């Protein structure tokens, strides 16, 4: 499984639709390391925020906002603000690590200014819970080690054993069971 593409439209500084395509593994199966470079404030961290957000992040603070609509492009001197933020993330599911019989899996999230929000799985509207469960089964989600933010390495190293457990839970694959338990409770 590898990240193929992220499309960001109306999210934070991405007023225009931006399509980021990532390189596939090389002939020996090694995944490339990809860097995004740009001057200060050009929106590099907004890309990381977009990844967390589309994977279902519920904390506005984690994506560096104060209220949920802060993720929608707020407008500039030359451009009107956007009415919707949309992020779409596509992974190639060649090894079926995501337990869906689909070669590619696309997860999308939209947030409208009126507060309405939508989650989509392979372009069909779905529930956040189903996306969370699917990603947990693939050990891939907004928590754990698939997205490591600035300063988070320090946080992991200095974390208490209880806090550090979240990372191990994702690695050992018990997250789906925890989600089921929470739902049942």
What is the SS3 assignment for 111? strand
CB of 66 to ligand ATP, least distance (A): 11
CB closer to ligand ATP, 74 vs 148: 74
Measure the CA–CA gap between 28 and 106, rounded to whole angstroms.
25
94-123 burial string, b = 16+ CB within 10 Å, else e? eeeebeeeeeebbbbbbbbeeeeeebbbee
CB of 42 to ligand ATP, least distance (A): 4
Long-range CB contact pairs, 26-34, < 8 A, 24+: 31/2
CB closer to ligand ATP, 84 vs 179: 84
CB closer to ligand ATP, 114 vs 162: 114
Q: Which residues bind ligand ATP (CB under 6 A)?
A: 12-13, 38, 40-46, 70, 72-74
**Residue showing the smallest CB distance to ligand ATP in the complex:** 45
CB of 74 to ligand ATP, least distance (A): 4
């Amino acid at each position: 499984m590898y990240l193929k593409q992220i499309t960001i439209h109306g999210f934070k500084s991405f007023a225009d639709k931006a399509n980021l395509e990532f390189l596939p593994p090389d002939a020996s199966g090694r995944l490339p390391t990809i860097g995004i470079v740009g001057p200060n404030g050009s929106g590099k961290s907004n890309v990381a925020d977009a990844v967390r957000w589309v994977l279902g992040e519920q904390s506005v603070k984690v994506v560096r906002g104060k209220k949920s609509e802060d993720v929608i492009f707020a407008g500039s001197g030359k451009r009107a603000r956007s009415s919707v933020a949309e992020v779409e993330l596509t992974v190639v599911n060649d090894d079926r690590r995501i337990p869906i019989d689909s070669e590619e899996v696309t997860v999308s999230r939209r947030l409208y200014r009126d507060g309405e929000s939508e989650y989509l799985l392979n372009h069909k509207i779905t529930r956040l819970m189903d996306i969370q469960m699917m990603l947990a089964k693939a050990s891939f989600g907004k928590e754990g080690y698939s997205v490591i933010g600035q300063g988070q390495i320090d946080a992991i190293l200095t974390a208490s054993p209880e806090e550090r457990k979240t990372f191990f839970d994702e690695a050992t694959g018990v997250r789906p069971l925890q989600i089921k338990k929470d739902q049942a409770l």
